[in-house]
Structure 1
Amino acid sequence: MRGRVPQGHPAGRHQPAQPGLHEGQAVTSPATVVVAYDGSEDSGNAVRWAAQEAGRRSAPLRVVSVIPPVTFVALPYPDSLNEGVPQEAEKLAQEGAAAAREYGATDVSAAGFMGEPAAILVDQSGSAGLLVTGSRGHRPLASALIGSVAYAVSAHAACPVVVVRGDLGPDAGEGPVVVGYDGSEIATRAVDFAADQAARAGRELRIVTVWFDTTEAAAALTTVTDLRTQLTADAAHVARLAGQRALQRHPQLVVSEVACEGLAAREMLAQAHDASLLVTGTRGHGGFAGLLLGSVSHAVLGGARCPIAVVR
């Protein structure tokens, strides 16, 4: 085990010559990337990100648009009221597909639906390798940090979900892929996903492990150097194990590990200040089994400035 690691400083760094997929890695048929599009600016950013990701994966891209039916509570309404909704949804999806082709996607399909957006997208995730959505669409209030659809899809989708936030400028994808790791099974899957993403994009992988003890006894001992040194060293060891796993998966990756003290969501967001993608599991060791999204992933979804991937 290494000695003390300063708070927020790299616990370790491995820098081989060139990042990327290693020779001889097994190749499987890429699963479809599905992206939600509703005509809003946020969903347009999601289409751009998804088109680029489909290209990196050599995967087909499906643009999905969903328009809810018009309903009136406790009042009868003619069936003809929603006759044109499926056609409008299909038209909207085709618009999104055209935008995806402008961003370089080649294998693109479009599908329009009438129904509840979150439910339709979750259903679409069953046959997808990745589901991409904007952080807000036309319907949620402008003050919402993350739209109800994006949150619901992140909690219930059958595949990893990427919620695209922030400005996708020319340098937006240049930063590292940052992933939180606490040693849990879900966090391990998040590290695998993050390593794959970093390898495809040729980016650094930054693994963040945060320790925080809320017990009164630990709080009373925060001035004891030995205790804090040991806890930080333990966190560094956990992060280092994740780094070794990532390098076994992709030997040419550039991997750094950070061990720090604090609140997990706050520290992850701080470490992702320059990230091209922030990856989190749905829950870690601190989550209740009945919660579909833990407090850390929820806070990260609301606070990140870059796209966020949520892995189940």
Structure 2
Amino acid sequence: MVRHAARQAGLHHTPLHLLHVTGHPDDPTGTTADEDGHGPPTPDAPVTERLAELARSEFPGITVTTETVPGRPAPVLLERSAEAAFLVLGHRGSGGFPRLSLGSVSQQVATHADCPVIVVRPGETPADPDNRVVVGVDLGDIGAQALDVAYEEAAARGASLQLLHATFHPGEVPTGPSLVAPDYEALDAAALEILRTEAAKRLDRFPDVTVHARVERVRPAAMLTEASRDAALLVVGTHGRGGLRRLMLGSVSGEVLHRAAAPVLVVPGRDGDHRAA
């Protein structure tokens, strides 16, 4: 997780800030908390410094700072997201924060943060991934912010970009003898044209990004999970503003976060540019 955060900082020429949230603000012991803010005491003082040294040694071009604060992880991270370029979270047992898992903390932060959030699964990320960024596109609510961030990530990495749209609704399949099946070929061609139009809008800003658009009539989560294999990054977006927004891909979001083989970058669906740290 820390390596990914350090690499992300290097790619975007931003400083890396390692934040360690310990226990409850009213807890004088300064114990390390689990995702619900509770947990047995563990030594926390050396954690961020060890990780900072790791980041500095492997990515010497970045500035690394550390901080340890009391509080519950999710509220603290959400507050800090207002002034960060990215938040990077890991799964249970990974990196220096073994109690921060893909549970309530990661789900809350990924859904409600003001800045993009990257959820990393180091144990399942390929050591030598393809230089490829994947973005899921919901044609019913195309998130310009998510697409722009996906392009920025591909450009920063010198990577190719895959625009993927998947749809499958059992109700589309006719069941009665007099019902005529939709022209799926025409529907898919129209969807592909929309993806290509979105790509054309960004050609002037990202002339060096090679784009591949693909439309399939399958479950979105299955398509994105499969595409994430050996990818450098999978990008999805969120709907709307405030605490009630949902991930762009709806019910598949949780499945993608749990099953994707690549790190998942969740981009908030709001107008305007995200802030840099």
Q: Same fold per TM (> 0.5)?
A: yes
Superposed displacement of residue 176, structure 1: 0.8
Identity within the alignment, %: 34
The CA deviation string for residues 120-175 of structure 1, in whole angstroms up to 9 with x for no partner, is: 111111110111010225337xxx8x232211110111100000114455413x33
Q: Describe the SS at the equivalent of 2:173.
A: helix
Return closer, same or farther for 1:213/1:170 CA change in 2, 3 Å cut-off.
closer
Q: Per the alignment, in what secondary structure is the counterpart of residue 220 of structure 1?
A: coil
Name the residue aligned to 1:96. 51
Aligned-partner SS, 1:63? strand
Distance (Å, rounded) in 2 between the aligned partners of 1:302 and 1:84:
30
CA distance in 2, matches of 1:225, 1:214: 12
Contact 2:118 2:263 in 1 (8 A): yes
Give TM-score, length-normalised by structure 2.
0.79
- In structure 2, C-alpha distance between the alignment counterparts of 1:226 and 1:154, rounded to whole Å: 36
Q: What SS does the aligned partner of 1:236 have?
A: helix
Give the match for residue 173 of structure 2.
219
Show the counterpart of 1:55: 10
In structure 2, the residue matched to 1:179 is 135
Q: In structure 1, what is the Cα distance between the partners aligned to 2:200 and 2:7?
A: 28
Query: Which secondary structure state, in structure 2, belongs to the residue aligned with residue 82 of structure 1?
Result: coil
Corresponding residue pairs, total: 247
Q: 2:246 aligns with which of 281, 292, 309?
A: 292
Q: 1:201: which partner in 2?
A: 157
Compared CA separation, residues 224 and 201, structure 1 to 2 (3 A):
farther
- Give the letter aligned to residue 115 of structure 2: C
Letter aligned with residue 92 of structure 1:
V
Name the structure 1 match of 2:274: none
Show structure 2 runs of 5+ residues with no match: 33-41, 269-277
Quick one: which of 82, 89, 95 aligns to 1:133? 89
SS at structure 1 position matched to 2:146: helix
Conserved 8 A contact 2:88-2:118: yes
- Residue 292 of structure 1 aligns to a residue whose secondary structure is coil
1:297 is displaced (CA, Å) by 1.9
Q: How far apart, in 2, do the equivalents of 1:91 and 1:121 lie?
A: 20
Q: Which has the higher contact order (CA 8 A, sep 6+)?
A: 1
Within-5 A mapping of 1:236-255: 236-255=192-211
Amino acid at match of 1:244: A
Shift in Å at residue 309 of structure 1? 0.3
Q: TM-score, normalised by structure 1?
A: 0.71
CA separation of 1:186 and 1:158: change in aligned 2, threshold 3 A:
farther
Larger radius of gyration: 1
Contact 1:90–1:111 (Cα < 8 Å) also in 2:
no
Instruction: State the Cα distance separating 1:197 from its structure 2 match.
Output: 0.2
Aligned to 1:310: 266
